Amino acid sequence: MLPACFLFEEVDKCLEHDVSGSFIRDRFVTEYIIYREMLRKAKIADAKGIYRLISFWAKKNKVLERPLNYIYENIRDFWICTQNRRIIGSCALHVIGWEDLAEIKSLVVDKRKHKKGIGKELVEACVKEAKSLGVKNIFVLTFVETFFRHLGFKKLSKNKLPHKIWSDCINCVYFPNCKEESLILNIGGRR
Ligand SMILES: CC(C)(COP(=O)(O)OP(=O)(O)OC[C@H]1O[C@@H](n2cnc3c(N)ncnc32)[C@H](O)[C@@H]1OP(=O)(O)O)[C@@H](O)C(=O)NCCC(=O)NCCS
Instruction: Please spell the DSSP secondary structure of 106-133, one letter per residue.
Output: EEEE-GGGTTSSHHHHHHHHHHHHHHHH
55: number of Cβ within 10 Å: 15
pLDDT above 70 for 33: no
Residue 159 DSSP code: G
Q: What is the pLDDT of residue 160?
A: 82
The candidate with the shortest Cα–Cα distance to 80, out of 112, 114, 110, 35, is 110
Q: Which residue has the higher pLDDT, 177 or 102?
A: 102
CA–centroid distance, 144 to ligand 1, in Å, is 7
Q: What is the pLDDT of residue 176?
A: 73
Q: What is the pLDDT of residue 27?
A: 45
Superfamily of domain 4-186: Gcn5-related N-acetyltransferase (GNAT) (3.40.630.30)
The answer to whether the Cα torsion of 138, 144, 150, 154 is positive or negative is positive
Pocket of ligand 1 contains residue 81 by CB under 6 Å: no
User: Residues 44, 75: contact at Cβ < 8 Å?
Assistant: yes
CA–centroid distance, 57 to ligand 1, in Å, is 13
In the chain, pLDDT over 70 holds for what percent of residues? 78
pTM recorded for the entire structure: 0.83
If you average pLDDT over every residue of the chain, what do you get?
82
